[in-house]
Amino acid sequence: MKKFQLAWTGEQPLLKNDIQTERYIFHRDITGNVLSEQIMWSLKGYLECYFPVDDVESVVYEDGKKFLNPLFASKTISDAKEAAHQYWNVIKNIRLSFNPSLSNDELLKYFEEYRVVERKVLAYFMCSREEVMAPVEEQLAEIVKEKYRDDYLQPYITLTTPKEDDLLYQEKCDVLLLSKNPTDESIQEHALKYPLMLFNVESEAEGAKIIKYRLTPEELKKAKKEVENYKHGKVLLKKEQQEILTLLKSKEAEDITYFIQQSSLCRLTLKACWGGAHYFLMLFFSHLADKAGVTHREFVMFSRVEDVIRLLQSSVWLSGQELQNRKRAYLLHYKADGVSFVSGVEAEQKKIQILDSSQPSQELQEFKGTIAHKGKFQGTVVLVKVDTPSEIHKIAGKINKKHVLVTGMTNPNMTMLVNKVGAILTDEGGMACHAAIISREFKIPCLVGCKIATQILKDGDLVEVDAERGIVRILQR
Give the CA-trace dihedral at 430, 410, 38, 345, to 10 degrees. Answer: 150
CA–CA dist 192, 280 (Å, integer): 6
Q: Note whether 51 and 76 are same-domain residues.
A: yes
Q: Note whether 51 and 123 are same-domain residues.
A: yes
Residue 386 has phi, psi (to 5 degrees) of -135, 155
Region for 470 from its dihedrals, namely left if φ exceeds 0, alpha if ψ lies in -120 to 50, beta otherwise: left
Cα 325 from chain centroid (whole Å):
26
* Contact indicator for 310, 292 with CB cutoff of 8 Å: no
Residue 256 lies in a domain: no
Residue where a domain stops, chosen among 323, 357, 391: 357
Residue 189 lies in a domain: yes
What pLDDT does residue 112 have?
Answer: 98
Residue where a domain stops, chosen among 327, 357, 387: 357
CA–CA dist 234, 264 (Å, integer): 15
Q: Note whether 383 and 325 are same-domain residues.
A: no
Q: Could you read off the pLDDT of 101-111 as tens digits, one per residue?
A: 999 999 999 99
Per-residue pLDDT tens, the chain, 477 aa: give them.
Answer: 899 999 999 999 999 999 999 999 999 999 999 999 999 999 999 999 999 999 999 999 999 999 999 999 999 999 999 999 999 999 999 999 999 999 999 999 999 999 999 999 999 999 999 999 999 999 999 999 999 999 999 999 999 999 999 999 999 999 999 999 999 999 999 999 999 999 889 899 999 999 999 999 999 999 999 999 999 999 999 999 999 999 999 999 999 999 999 999 999 999 999 999 999 999 999 999 999 999 999 999 999 999 999 999 999 999 999 999 999 999 999 998 899 999 999 999 999 999 999 999 999 999 999 999 999 999 999 999 988 888 998 999 999 999 999 999 998 888 889 989 999 999 998 887 889 999 999 999 999 999 999 999 999 999 999 999 999 999 999
Q: Note whether 324 and 431 are same-domain residues.
A: no
Instruction: Look at residues 414, 125, 114, 172 and name the one whose alpha carbon lies nearest to residue 269.
Output: 125
Residue 66 lies in a domain: yes
CATH number at residue 426: 3.50.30.10
Range of the structural domain that residue 395 is part of = 366-476
Q: Note whether 82 and 64 are same-domain residues.
A: yes
Q: Give bridge partners of residue 368 from the DSSP assignment.
A: 471
- 324: number of Cβ within 10 Å: 13
Provide the number of structural domains found in the chain.
3
Q: Note whether 175 and 213 are same-domain residues.
A: yes
CA neighbours closer than 13 Å in the CB half-sphere of residue 231: 8
Residue 272 lies in a domain: no
Q: What is the 3-state secondary structure (H, E, C) of the chain?
A: CCCEEEEEEECCCHHHHHHHHCHHHHCCCCCCCCCCEEEEEEECCEEEEEEEHHHHHHHHHHHHHHHHCHHHHHHHHHHHHHHHHHHHHHHHHHHHHCCCCCCHHHHHHHHHHHHHHHHHHHHHHHHCCHHHHHHHHHHHHHHHHHHHHHHCHHHHHHHCCCCCCCHHHHHHHHHHHHCCCCCHHHHHHHHHHCHHHHCCCCCHHHHHHHHHHHCCHHHHHHHHHHHHHHHHHHHHHHHHHHHHHHHHCCHHHHHHHHHHHHHHHHHHHHHHHHHHHHHHCHHHHHHHHHHHCCCHHHHHHHCCHHHHHHHHHHCCCCCHHHHHHHHHEEEEEEECCEEEEEEHHHHHHHHHHHCHHHCCCCCCCEEECEEEECCEEEEEEEEECCCCHHHHHHHHCCCCCCEEEEECCCCHHHHHHHCCCCEEEECCCCCCCHHHHHHHHHCCCEEECCCCHHHHCCCCCEEEEECCCCEEEEEEC
Q: Could you read off the pLDDT of 327-361 as tens digits, one per residue?
A: 999 999 999 889 999 999 999 999 999 999 999 99
CA–CA dist 323, 398 (Å, integer): 33
CA–CA dist 175, 162 (Å, integer): 22
* Contact indicator for 446, 471 with CB cutoff of 8 Å: no
Q: Note whether 230 and 284 are same-domain residues.
A: no
Residue 267 lies in a domain: no
AA identity, residue 323: L
Residue 49 lies in a domain: yes
What pLDDT does residue 412 have?
Answer: 85
Question: CA–CA distance from 49 to each of 40, 121, 240, 355 (Å)?
Answer: 4, 18, 37, 11
Q: Note whether 10 and 120 are same-domain residues.
A: yes
For 130, residues 6+ apart whose C-beta sits below 8 A from its C-beta are 137, 370, 428, 429, 430, 431, 432, 433, 448, 449
Whole-model pTM: value is 0.96
Residue 254 lies in a domain: no
Q: Note whether 66 and 180 are same-domain residues.
A: no
Q: Note whether 123 and 146 are same-domain residues.
A: no
Instruction: Look at residues 18, 16, 25 and name the one whose alpha carbon lies nearest to residue 343.
Output: 18
Residue 284 has phi, psi (to 5 degrees) of -65, -50
Q: Note whether 119 and 9 are same-domain residues.
A: yes
Residue 275 lies in a domain: no
Q: Note whether 14 and 110 are same-domain residues.
A: yes
CA–CA dist 139, 251 (Å, integer): 13
Residue where a domain stops, chosen among 340, 357, 374: 357
For 231, residues 6+ apart whose C-beta sits below 8 A from its C-beta are none
